[in-house]
Amino acid sequence: MLSSYRQAAVTALLTLWFATMSFVCSTLMIGHWVQLPVPKVGSRQAFVSESNTSESMKWRALHFLSSECVCSKRILNHLLQRDPLSEIEETIVIVGETDAIRESVAGSKFAIEWSTPEELKCRYGVDAAPLLVVFDYDGTIRYSGAYTARKQGFPIQDVQLIKRALAGESIQPLPLFGCGVSREMQSLTDPLGLKKK
């Protein structure tokens, strides 16, 4: 009798365990599998043309990264290993200011902007990272997408993508798999909040 109770209890525990772990694993995977939204190529962002002056009529490349996103950290580390390109104005926009990141970007020649998820969404229309967006003189988006052809795999193609955009090529945007930055996107990609660091 006791044995059958025990058997039933173990079976119930295993069922609960299986369901829980399946769900947890699935939620973990969503962030890796879901293709995140990016600003559309060809759309125009006013903040670029507004900031341009007659002395500095350069294209701009914005690297949107998140301090809570592992994928963003890998891109940041990659960017910090080179200098900004001379033919374009490159800025790294980081959501979530932390001491560690502040220290890591301290000696960089890149222009650094600190932002919040809300500001990012409001000002740039961006709610996912890591994202590369290339603007022309008047703020038209010439490239908007991920850095790598496969999910976060090598190679990181930032330089090639920027140069192709500068050359006037029409580039098929690489799909973005990464982290949601806005609350809305975070609740979609990390419903259990397990990825927050």
Least Cβ distance, residue 181 to another protein (angstroms): 17
Placement of tokens 């999910």 in the chain: 151
Least Cβ distance, residue 33 to another protein (angstroms): 3
Nearer to another protein, 74 or 123 (CB): 74
> Given the rule CB under 8 A, which residues bind another protein?
3, 6-7, 9-10, 13-14, 17-18, 20-30, 32-35, 70-71, 73-74, 150-154, 175, 188, 191, 194-195, 197
Tokens read off for 149: 């052809």
Per the CB < 8 A criterion, the answer to whether 100 and 128 are in contact is no
- How far apart, in whole angstroms, are the C-alpha atoms of residue 183 and residue 135? 26
Least Cβ distance, residue 78 to another protein (angstroms): 11
Nearer to another protein, 73 or 142 (CB): 73
Per the CB < 8 A criterion, the answer to whether 85 and 59 are in contact is no
Nearer to another protein, 3 or 54 (CB): 3
Nearer to another protein, 14 or 111 (CB): 14
Placement of tokens 């496969």 in the chain: 150
Show the CA angle centred on residue 187, arms to residues 181 and 192, nearest 5°: 115
Tokens read off for 88: 């374009």
Per the CB < 8 A criterion, the answer to whether 179 and 72 are in contact is yes
Least Cβ distance, residue 153 to another protein (angstroms): 5
Placement of tokens 């374009």 in the chain: 88
Nearer to another protein, 9 or 122 (CB): 9
Per the CB < 8 A criterion, the answer to whether 129 and 69 are in contact is yes
Least Cβ distance, residue 70 to another protein (angstroms): 6
